[in-house]
A and B are shown apart, each in its own frame.
Chain A
Amino acid sequence: MALIEIRNLHASVDGKEILKGIDLVIEPGQAHAIMGPNGAGKSTLSNVIAGRPGYEVTQGSVTYLGKDLLALEPEARACEGIFLAFQYPVEIPGVATTTFLKTALNAHRKYRGEGELDAMQFLKLVREKTRALGIGDDKLRRPLNVGFSGGEKKRNEVLQMSMLEPRLALLDETDSGLDIDALKVVAEGVNALRSPERSFLIITHYQRLLDYIVPDFVHVLADGRIARSGGKELALELESRGYAEFTGAAA
């Protein structure tokens, strides 16, 4: 069974149609990249899958592990294994990163009917994950993302992903605002999470990220539709030729 099956998906924001019929199937273990010009609807697609309020699906279906995903609240989608890594992770003053991680992890466990982790179990798990990502204990004690650099925020997103162990990770412009060193660290973190059960949808404007997180498939999204699909070599072709032919076709 496909992990996620998107059929003829149309979606609007503030009454304006952004997605105009998307078809996409992702099998377990696959990494798909969505590329395309600004305004093509790339981020809209990830937000619709994650269930962001204000993104209205007007037509089509999204089936996730055989279930109607669109009928689920965002928190249920998260607990079912969908993880959206945000382009702009939110800062939450007054809530320590560990407190937040524990709350999120226990929400997932509760959803699955498992007991909450006690403080020791949680600490052991979080230590293990942070060490792998090179995140210091001081960051964990600090309020979530407050005063973090762009790279630290994205690394924090990867930490959350590794704690919550999703089936489908949506990386929304994860490379934006990162220098090359930060990008490498984040990419390594993502690559460590690749497995035959876990799938990725990588949304990016630039090919650069795909040098580090190598996709199985690349799709070009233009004017709310997938204009072309191919293997990873398509990304290189786009890098050299740009999106002109797609924006032209859309106009």
Chain B
Amino acid sequence: MDTLPFIDRHAEALARLGGPGWIADLRRTGLERYRALGLPTQRDEAWKYTSLSALKKIAFAPAFLAAAPSFDGLPALGGSMAGEACRFVMVNGRFAPALSSLGDLPPGIGVSSLAAMMRDEPDALEALVARLYPAEGQPLANLNAAYLDDGVVIRIAAGASLGKPVHVVSLCGAGLAPLMCHPRLLIVAEAGSTAAVVESRLGFGGGSTLCNVVTDVVVEDEATLGHYVLQKGSDDNRLLSSTRVDVRAGGLYESFALHVGGVLARNEVQVLLGAERAECRVNGAYAVSGSQHLDNTIRIDHAVPRTTSRQTFKGVLDDRGRGVFQGGILVRRNAQQTDGQQMHKALLLSRGAEVDCKPELEIYADDVKCGHGATAGELDEDAMFFLRARGLDPETARGLLIEAFLDDVIEQIGNLTVREVFKGVVAEWLTRRKVAIKETRGTP
């Protein structure tokens, strides 16, 4: 048996996976690299504050080798989001056509299952092979490649403009036996196009799951892509997400990750601004409670002159919740007139909560504008008293101030439909929090 976790049933899995020969090569390469790199440990600088060692003790089986979990509430969970253009639902990493709704897509937008493309359009997929190979040094992305099976390919044709967002719903759930899945997302926004993609990462059922998702994004010349992620897992869901973005000349990649649930989550986003006037905004907000742990690790590579990046994250931490923010800005030697800014603000609601913030600025050019900032604080006592003196009970007052704290970063979401949906998610989280507090107080 392999000493490395997650691959002891790989041979068995491989025998069940189809696809053309070059996909088999890709899986083999992924496995070899994962074996060589091993699972990240806290000795790796990029994983300094997040430990994966607890995962090693859980025997996660590849989801497609286990019996499909049944859950009556699935259709409701995969339910529509107000204002979506279409809905692509995956259950444990595999496309679920019965829960999806892909009809009436506007012209110029393609949304396909990766497995279906392997089967029906291998040539079209092979054209994207460079995007399917993960970076060599990334163990988790290579582990994902080793199991490459299904996912979604979203193609926005040159010049196309899509007002309503494409909604990808990723549901993870297990019965008694722990399951893992390795979905792959590929988003290509061709030149001059404008579109928004929302990913809802949700949990169901009561068993342990590990979702190791890899997303590859290309924003071509003068294209604008909004990429919005909602993470609302349960305390049985663990999520490791690696996103690689390539922004071309004059392109804009705008992302927002809203995290309100999941016992362990890591959002790693690497953006290459590889052509002039390329721009990215990598923002997010999170709320952790109980013993939840969320890690946002961002790295922006300003590779050429005149590129712009913004990172703004805000987190609310309660109980023993833990937040990690590692914000990297790399400005290469010739990347003059780079404008790169990052900010992380944390609101600590309990003594047991912890936030670790590590800015990493590597600047090799001399004519740049780069800045970073971080704050961590408690709720303002004066504001609390003001609200109580107007008759609000402490929990309502706290809720209002938490909403106020998160408001300005959520206001930065460019797509108005998504902004309203995400505001609703925050409001719902606050209501659940208030109910939970009342119940705790109610029991002796």
Q: Which residues of A contact B (CB under 8 A)?
A: 50-53, 73-75, 77-79, 83-84, 86, 88-90, 92-95, 100, 103-104, 107-108, 111, 143, 160, 164
Contacts and interface: CB of A to CB of B under 8 A. Distances in A.
B385 to A, nearest CB: 5
A107 B390 contact: yes
Closest 5 CB pairs of A and B: A94-B407, A107-B391, A94-B404, A78-B391, A104-B390
Given A53-B385, A90-B383, A94-B408, A104 B392 contact: yes
B393 A107 contact: yes
Given A100-B400, A103-B400, A107-B396, A92 B391 contact: no
Contacts, number: 73
Nearest to B385: A52
Contact of B380 (A90, A111, A160): A90
A78 B404 contact: no
A51 B388 CA distance: 9
B400 A95 contact: yes
B404 A93 contact: yes
B106 interface: no
B102 interface: no
B394 interface: yes
A92 B404 contact: yes
18 contacts: A50-B389, A53-B381, A53-B385, A73-B388, A74-B389, A75-B389, A77-B389, A86-B389, A90-B380, A90-B382, A90-B383, A94-B404, A94-B411, A95-B404, A104-B390, A104-B392, A107-B391, A108-B391
Contacts of B411: 94
A251 B245 CA distance: 71
Interface in B390-406: 390-394, 396, 400-401, 403-406
Contacts of A50: 389
A93 B407 CA distance: 7
A244 B394 CA distance: 42
Main secondary structure of the interface of B (DSSP, over half): helix
B386 A95 contact: no
Contacts of A88: 382
Interface in B156-212: none
B400 A75 contact: no
A248 to B, nearest CB: 34
A107 B392 contact: yes
Contacts of A94: 403-408, 411
Contacts of A108: 391
Contacts of A103: 392, 396, 400
B390 A164 contact: yes
Given A93-B408, A94-B408, A75 B394 contact: yes
Contacts of A104: 387, 390-392
A207 to B, nearest CB: 27
- Looking at B381, B382, B391, B400, the one whose CB has the most chain A CB atoms below 10 A away is B391
